[in-house]
Amino acid sequence: MIARGSGGLDVGELPAAAREQAQALLEHGAGDRCRRDEVHLQVALLPADHGRRIDRAQCGIDGIGIGLLHAPAFEQVLTAQRLLQFLREVKSGVPCVAAPVYSHVVYDIIPGETVSVCQPDILILEGLNVLQVGAIESASEFVSDYFDFSIYVDADERDIEEWYVQRFLRLRDTVFQNPDSFFRHYAALDEAQAIEVARGIWHGINGKNLKENIEPTKRRASLLLHKGADHRVTSVALRRL
C-alpha cells in the first residue's frame, strides 16, 4: 500500500494464501520486522481490521452482531481516523508504529495487544473498503491518499457468495466451536441450517456491502485481478494514467 522510499502496495482483498501469510506475520511479533535485511526488501503486512474498534455496548449490538453488520459505513467512520494516523506516522518515518490487534474470535480488538510496523520498504494494507472515499462526506483526507499502488481482487458475485457459504461451513466446524467466539451460537446448526443462515446473511448484509460499498471502488485500483470459481486468476487489467 505505502512505501518508505520505494513504491508500495495495497490490496483491496487478498487471496487466502496471502491472508495466511499475513496472520503468520502478525503472530510472530515485531522483532524480525524491525531488523532491516541488507539484501531483501523489508515488507510488512497489516489487515485493516487491526485499526477497528467495536464498542458493542455503545452500539446496542446483541450476541448476533447483526445490528453493526447492517451498517457497512460504520466501520469506515470508526476506522478512518485511526488508520489515517497510523499511515501518517509510517509515511513520515516514525521508527516503529503500533496498531491494535483485532480478533475475529471475539469480534473486537484485543486489549493491550499491538503489532508494530518498523520502517518497512513496502507496507501492504489489506482491507475491503480501503479504496472508499464517499462514506464520510466531510472528509478531506482518505486512507487511499497514502497508496502508491493498489490491487483489487474481483470475482463474479455468485462465486463470492458460494465461497462465503463454504467459509461459513468451515467456521461452523472450527472457530465457531470456541466458547469465546462471538458467533458461537452458529456452532450447533446442522449443515442445511448453516447454509440457509449463511445465504440469508449474504443477501441481507454481505452482498449488499459488496454492491454498495466495495464494488464501486474497484475502478480506483491500479490493478484489477479477476478470479474464477476455482480461485485462479482469469484476467488482469492495469490502469494506465
Inter-helix orientation angle 191-201/157-173, to 10°: 130
Instruction: Give CA–CA dist 214/222, Å, rounded.
Output: 15
Nearest to 26 by CA among 136, 126, 166, 155: 126
Q: Which residues are CB-contacts of 87 (< 8 A; sequence separation ≥ 6)?
A: 2, 125, 143, 146
pLDDT in tens, 2-21: 322 222 333 334 445 544 54
pLDDT of residue 45: 87
State which residues of the chain have pLDDT below 70: 1-39, 49-79, 134-139
Is residue 217 a contact partner of residue 150, using CB atoms and an 8 Å limit? no
pLDDT given for residue 147 in this prediction: 93
For residue 183, give every residue at least 6 positions away whose Cβ sits within 8 Å of its Cβ, in sequence order, or none.
Answer: 64, 65, 107, 171, 175, 176
DSSP at 236:
E
Q: What pLDDT, on the 0 to 100 scale, is given for residue 93? A: 93
pLDDT at position 157 is 96
Q: Quote the CA–CA distance of 106 and 55 in Å, as a whole number.
A: 12
pTM: 0.71
| pLDDT recorded at residue 2 | 38
Residue 139: its pLDDT value, please?
67
Of 161, 139, 144, 138, the C-alpha closest to 209 is 161
Write the CATH number of the domain with boundaries 2-238.
3.40.50.300
